Structure 1
């Protein structure tokens, strides 16, 4: 996906029991991004979601 770089906020698709939420990218790896959840039940939690979970780049 174009535009995935450190400092960008993306919208992650819902998965398991976690609703769609905003995620701040810290780094972009080959098959995932690392960073922290900004909204939803995982707010403040570090994660490494697969790139396939990214719905879009967040544009406020």
Structure 2
């Protein structure tokens, strides 16, 4: 995905009972990104969402 790199904010698709939310990327791995949820019920929580959950790179 174009622009996907550490330090960017991405929009993650809704999954399970978690709505679409912003996520700050700390690292980009082969099959996932690592980082912290910025909004939604998981705000402040560390996570490793798979790349297919990324809807877009957020452009402020």
Give the 4+ runs in structure 1 shifted more than 3 A. none
Aligned to 1:32: 32
TM-score (norm 2): 0.98
For 2:2 and 2:16, locate their aligned partners in 1 and report how far apart those are by CA, in whole Å: 26
CA deviation vs aligned residue, 1:3-56 (integer Å, no higher than 9, x gap): 110000000000000000000000000000000000000000000000000000
- Report what 2:52 is aligned to: 52
Supply the distance in 1 between the matched residues of 2:50 and 2:11 (Cα, whole angstroms). 12
Equivalenced residue count is 60
Q: TM-score, normalised by structure 1?
A: 0.98
In structure 2, list runs of 5 or more residues that go unmatched.
none
